[in-house]
Amino acid sequence: MSPSTILGYAARAAGQPLEPFTYEPPALGEHDVRVSITHCGVCHTDIHAVDDYYGITTYPFVPGHEIVGYVSAVGREASGLKEGDRVGIGWQGRSCGQCEWCLKGEEQLCMDIVQAATWLPYGGFSSSVIVDSRFAYPLPDAMPSEFASALMCAGITVYSPLRSFAAAPSRKIGIIGVGGLGHLALQFARALGYEVTAISSSPEKKEQALAFGAHHFVVSDQASLSELEFTFDLLLCTASGKIDWVPLLDTLKKDCKLILVGFPDVEFNSTDLVAHQLSITTSFLGNRARMREMLSFAHAQAITPAIELMPMSQVNEALQKVRENKARYRIVLVNETEGTRT
């Protein structure tokens, strides 16, 4: 094993537990940086990819895309970063740079997005990762690495649509789900000036939802939601799995929007949408400018992810907790190899 050998945790086949996996670092492209990983958050998308839910996973597969670490090597043409800089990296680690979306600065919509994933060839549950330097973001000095880690995917995922659709202050928003994404959405929405209602199937989350910034809390049962008919200007759904949509849609004012950022099961009767002229829209990651803006906004507004730290060697226990919805609210894996800076 050479000194540059990378130690990661890989699934060998769909749905399998991760196993230690070593590999030689891929060649450093001229715009690339190599980053020695100290922290990596666990996202539902990692589990979907391990399970090949999207039908695009190649094995052995090393998940992980909420990365914080230190730059350990810099490609010839990479500018703006130097060895030793602390950076964050999210789901997107590169882009084609040539399609209409990349040329417009909307790289998250790159036509080659599948190839743009940070986890190709291998992701952040690992000692190092190589990405295009333009997708490695310098972090505010005082921001704890575990906070930055959770912001790199969960943070940008909720911040971007809240920013895009924010308009007049005191717009009423309902945030569906108080979990890894939802607990950050409550904080960002409050800081952006919305009147925020947390909507959760778990009544025991009320106190925490209010502490995260919600003005109001409602349990997502039919009786409670029926009291909120025509209340919200915007609904942001951060939950996944099965959802009873009809009473939720009835809480939207006419001609307003539901935004999906997670991957819930959707089943709508078109009448429920058309008769109130409702729109459903979605949001995927954010462009590079939005990513930098999100980090500085989070820092200025003291957005505080609720983090459970676990050693990276316990990656399978961490994934299991996320599968069972038991993470409170984001698990961040800490690399025991920190300090060796491979």
3-class state of residue 114 by DSSP = helix
Closest to Zn ion by CB, 67 or 256: 67
Beta pairing partners, 117: 92
As measured in angstroms, the least distance from the Cβ of 265 to Zn ion is: 19
Q: Which two tokens stand for residue 256?
A: 């307003």
Closest to Zn ion by CB, 82 or 323: 323
As measured in angstroms, the least distance from the Cβ of 266 to Zn ion is: 19
Which chain residues interact with Zn ion by CB under 5 A?
43, 45, 95-96, 99, 102, 110, 153
Closest to Zn ion by CB, 248 or 333: 333
10 Å Cβ neighbour count for 68?
Answer: 30
8 A C-beta contact, residue 169 and residue 189:
no
As measured in angstroms, the least distance from the Cβ of 168 to Zn ion is: 30
10 Å Cβ neighbour count for 100?
Answer: 10
Closest to Zn ion by CB, 91 or 194: 91
8 A C-beta contact, residue 8 and residue 126:
yes
Q: How far apart are CA 155 and CA 192, in angstroms?
A: 14
Closest to Zn ion by CB, 25 or 123: 123
Q: Which two tokens stand for residue 197?
A: 């209602």
Closest to Zn ion by CB, 23 or 263: 263
8 A C-beta contact, residue 125 and residue 18:
yes
As measured in angstroms, the least distance from the Cβ of 20 to Zn ion is: 23
As measured in angstroms, the least distance from the Cβ of 323 to Zn ion is: 15
Burial class (CB in 10 A: 0-12, 13-18, 19+), 214: buried
As measured in angstroms, the least distance from the Cβ of 37 to Zn ion is: 16
Helices (H) and strands (E) in the chain, counts: 11, 15
Closest to Zn ion by CB, 248 or 319: 319
As measured in angstroms, the least distance from the Cβ of 288 to Zn ion is: 12
What are the φ and ψ backbone dihedral angles of 103, each rounded to 5 degrees? -65, -25
Closest to Zn ion by CB, 240 or 342: 240
As measured in angstroms, the least distance from the Cβ of 204 to Zn ion is: 26
Burial class (CB in 10 A: 0-12, 13-18, 19+), 300: exposed
Q: What is the DSSP string of 219-274?
A: E-SHHHHHTTTT-EEEEEE---B---HHHHHTTEEEEEEEEE-S-B-----HHHHH
